[in-house]
Amino acid sequence: MLALSTDSTPHQTPQRPIALTRSGRRRARLLVVRLLLTNDDGIESEGLHVLAAAMADAGHDVVIAAPDQDYSGAGASIGRISTDDTISVQRVEVPGCAGVPAFAIGGPPGLCVVAARLGALGDLGFHDPAFEPTAPPWYVVSGINAGANTARSILHSGTVGACLTAQNFGVSGLAVSVAWAEPWQWDTAARLAVDVLPMLEDAPDRTVLNLNVPALPFDEVLGIRWARLAPFGSVRFAVTEQGRQTSGSKLDPGETIGLELELIATDYQPPSDTDQAIIQAGYAALTTLVGVAEAWDPDHDRVAGALADDVDLADVTEESAPAPDEPPAHLRGRVIPGAPLHPVHRIPDASDRRTLHRPEVASDPIAPLPK
């Protein structure tokens, strides 16, 4: 089997050895996999460099496409896109990654993923396997983030957002973050990321794993545990005292003030099975994430299916529906795709896990680029 080399010269894919995971179990590593590495701390981040070197040393084909500046907190944003402007792309060299193609992109990590996925990096970019059936699968690996990405605040993480952007394109991803320490434990996070990556091979399409690593040397990490998202993290945002005084003052039209925010440590003790608690206990935490989900009545599939033989929801219009005090018997107040809005309908409770459904993705989400 052939795989892409960083110098565009075909070579034979090496057979990967059997390795021990942190739990001591034997796991067959992946054959060579094509990886897009990105982050939100920027192309100059040491965490990105260490992660890229570890993945390349593990035998994977690595291409780096990362923001040209720090985009922490960008979430899955792709930034402002204008047909009147261009996005800067610069070929760069990454320390410790000789031979690894690297690009600095003038935009957030989500845009880096989109650009690579659309083939903007040319022969070093990535294309849908449907057009390259002999190409190895490819994944997005994002990180290593300087600081843990735990709890519900991952909504704002550019590290996680890059992988959720990939998920939206039908691609799986691994987000990697390490808790704060002096010195940073980049090597620990990189080694654990290499161990976790093979899980994506047999995982469902569009799987996103969020790996958070404690601030410990590799040999002191107790293992890897599955984790829920904690309700709160170890720090929270707050407006500074000076910021409160400033923002409370009267502003004249056209006047500008500076709003000051700070991160404050909390004494919150998260449940023991959550990501924040698990890394505090000395384990690495692993969580499966879904970025975009719809909220529907828990039984909407069954109800809609039962209607398929005798009711075409597309034919149920505003005019044909009964009066508000006589809702259609077959709808019974359920919110069903294709049904017209009716006063009896109630918005599904998105906090009820039974209501959440992932939207389908087309098998060919990207058309071939014009020649």
Residues 355-370, mean pLDDT to the nearest whole number: 55
Compute the distance between CA of residue 53 and CA of residue 106 in angstroms, rounded to an integer. Answer: 23
Q: What is the pTM of this model?
A: 0.78
Task: Answer whether the bond into residue 183 is a cis peptide, omega within 30°.
Answer: yes
Q: Beta strands 61-67 and 102-105: pairing type?
A: parallel
Helix pair angle (109-117, 158-168), 10° resolution: 30
197 strand-pairing partners? none
Span 1-56, pLDDT tens digits? 222 222 333 323 333 333 434 444 444 455 678 899 999 999 999 999 999 999 99
* Side-chain half-sphere CA neighbours of 299 within 13 A: 8
Greatest alpha-carbon pair distance for the chain in Å reads 72
Amino acid at 49: H
pLDDT value, residue 123: 55
Amino acid at 223: G
What count of other Cβ atoms lies within 10 Å of the Cβ of residue 284? 28
Residues 143-172, mean pLDDT to the nearest whole number: 94
**How distant is the alpha carbon of residue 219 from its chain centre?**
28
Nearest to 127 by CA among 60, 34, 1, 43: 34
Task: Using DSSP, state whether 251 is helix, strand or coil.
Answer: coil
Q: Please, what's the b/e burial string for 17-33 (b: 16 or more CB within 10 A of its CB; e: otherwise)?
A: eeeeebeeeeeebbbbb
Span 121-146, pLDDT tens digits? 765 545 445 445 455 568 999 999 99
pLDDT value, residue 363: 46
Amino acid at 151: A
Taken in order of first residue, the domains within the chain and their CATH numbers are 2-230+271-289 (3.40.1210.10), 235-265 (no CATH), 294-371 (no CATH)
Beta-carbon contacts of 325 under 8 Å, excluding residues fewer than 6 positions away, are none
Residues 151-164, mean pLDDT to the nearest whole number: 94
Compute the distance between CA of residue 224 and CA of residue 202 in angstroms, rounded to an integer. Answer: 18
Name the token pair of 78.
Answer: 């792709």
Selected residue with higher pLDDT from 324 and 93: 93
pLDDT value, residue 189: 98
Contact predicate 94/43, CB 8 Å: yes
pLDDT value, residue 51: 98
Which DSSP state fits 266?
-
The rounded percent of the chain whose pLDDT value lies above 70 is 65
pLDDT over threshold 90, residue 175: yes
Task: Using DSSP, state whether 191 is helix, strand or coil.
Answer: helix
Which DSSP state fits 228?
B
CA angle 345–351–355, rounded 5-degree value = 55
Compute the distance between CA of residue 215 and CA of residue 237 in angstroms, rounded to an integer. Answer: 22
Nearest to 47 by CA among 164, 148, 152, 163: 148
Task: Answer whether the bond into residue 144 is a cis peptide, omega within 30°.
Answer: yes
Amino acid at 333: G
* Side-chain half-sphere CA neighbours of 100 within 13 A: 29
- Element containing residue 295 per DSSP (H, E): strand 294-295
Nearest to 48 by CA among 219, 197, 177, 179: 177
Nearest to 64 by CA among 162, 161, 167: 162
Nearest to 139 by CA among 71, 211, 242, 68: 211
- CA dihedral 262→265→269→274, nearest 10 degrees, is 60
